[in-house]
Structure 1
Amino acid sequence: MKSKILLLFTCCTLTLLSHAIYAQDNDYYRPDSLRNENPVTEEKQPAENREVREKKPEVDFKQLPFIDRVRLGGSFGLSLGTVTNVNLSPMAGYELTEKLVAGVGLTGMYYKSRYFGVNQFYYGGRAFLMYSVVPMVNLIGELEAMNVETDTFTKYDVRKWLASPMLGAAYSQPVGGKFIKAVHFTVLYNFNYNNQLDDYGNNISPYASPFVFRITFL
């Protein structure tokens, strides 16, 4: 009898416990009872304020003011030793087109040779055209007039003008200056070199050969 009562009590207890556990499970999985202890917040990236920058219209070359087409600079040369040769030539140019520059320059040159006992000063000027084939290569045509000292059959140390038509090319490296736009490493050929002689047949050109090398800032 006691065993039957104990068995009945155990069955009732298990039934009540199962109902309680089932109720808790329903409450736990009920959607409205879900708890987010660590809620995940989405990071919102700040909207970028992109300003629309209007591109400045390119100015037509023909509309450029005079001062923006002007180029100022010059060339120089220096040789020291048995033969001293100092060459300085200020230059000015003007951009006729986007590719073509015309200009003039003045030249002063001091020449001294210990071997030949020569001590002379040359002066003159030049006019030139420079055409850009590609951005870093320019063709150059130049006419230079130089006043030099020479000897004649009747008189020594007579001054004489020499005309030198030259043609060559330059490797140009832009420098971005307002007036000096580039550095030009120039090689020119003097077509009149062999005709620049005194009465005794000596060459009186201020250059040592028909090839003229210059570094020009313009």
Structure 2
Amino acid sequence: MKRKILLSCLFIITLSIKSTVFAQTDEYYRPDTVKKERPVRKEIPPIENRAPVENKKVESELKNLAFKERIRLGGSFGLSFGTFTNVNVSPMAGYQITDKLVGGVGATLMWFKSKNYGVNSVYYGGRGFLMYQVVPVINIIAEYEAMNVEADSFIKYDARKWIGSPMIGASYSQPTGGRLIRAIHFTALYNLNYDNQLDDYGNNISPYGSPFVFRVLFL
């Protein structure tokens, strides 16, 4: 009985070994297309042997924009209270000349009141400007403004006179994401001609009351 059991065990072991050998042989002789897929290791060259990646220049898309897509519309306003009361608004239009340079024009309407000189009048005029971006939040500005103001003369009291104000300054800007109004600019300008803006009696007739001009500009 023991002999029969031993022979049965040997027969089962023999069959198992034979099946394993045949399975390995079949796998070996199968075509490459049906063999089990094995991950292919991708060799990465050492850092010192890697080819340098050239920095590609990103060309400005400005040259591809139509004229109307370069237009900016907005304006500025200013407030001053005290000895001189000055409230002014100015609609403006700008044009994107380059990626960093904007040029434009504006019209100005102003209410001006002076306690010292008894002036209470409306002034008007216009201006042209250039604004250049130094860094994303800082711009330098050059502006020329012409204003029609009241000025006493030897011939007529409360006469009207045109005065010109070349100004230079800078702005701190915050983008708005708008298509026409791209940013809000907090500007500070200096009037280079302030000391020469006098009436016939030597009184300064600048409507700003100071060589420094502060505005909030939307453009």
Instruction: Provide the TM-score with structure 1 as the length reference.
Output: 0.71
Q: Which moved more, 1:126-135 or 1:151-160?
A: 151-160
Matches within 5 A, 1:74-113: 74-80=75-81, 83-113=84-114
Give the aligned partner of residue 159 of structure 1: 160
C-alpha RMSD of matched pairs (Å): 1.7
Residues 153 and 85 from structure 1, CA distance in 2 versus in 1: closer, same or farther, beyond 3 angstroms?
Answer: same
Instruction: Give the match's secondary structure for 2:63.
Output: helix
Matches within 5 A, 1:3-42: none
Q: In structure 1, what residue type is equivalent to 2:129?
A: F
Instruction: Give the match's secondary structure for 1:101.
Output: strand
Q: Which moved more, 1:86-95 or 1:64-73?
A: 64-73
C-alpha distance in 2, partners of 1:209/1:81? Answer: 12
Greater C-alpha Rg: 1
Instruction: Give the match's secondary structure for 1:179.
Output: coil
Indicate the percent of aligned positions where both proteins have the same amino acid: 69
Q: In structure 1, what residue type is equivalent to 2:160?
A: R
Give the aligned partner of residue 175 of structure 2: 174
Q: Deviations over 1:78-117 (max 9, x none)?
A: 2456643210000000000010000000001001234542
Q: Report the Cα offset of residue 58 of structure 1.
A: 7.8
Q: How many residues align?
A: 162
Give the aligned partner of residue 207 of structure 2: 206
Q: Which runs of 5+ in 2 are unaligned?
A: 1-57
Instruction: Give the match's secondary structure for 1:156.
Output: coil
C-alpha distance in 2, partners of 1:204/1:148? Answer: 7
Instruction: Provide the TM-score with structure 2 as the length reference.
Output: 0.70
C-alpha distance in 2, partners of 1:171/1:72? Answer: 18
Q: Which runs of 5+ in 1 are unaligned?
A: 1-56
Q: Report the Cα offset of residue 154 of structure 1.
A: 1.4
Instruction: Give the match's secondary structure for 1:180.
Output: coil
Give the aligned partner of residue 23 of structure 2: none
C-alpha distance in 1, partners of 2:205/2:59? Answer: 51
C-alpha distance in 1, partners of 2:72/2:176? Answer: 13
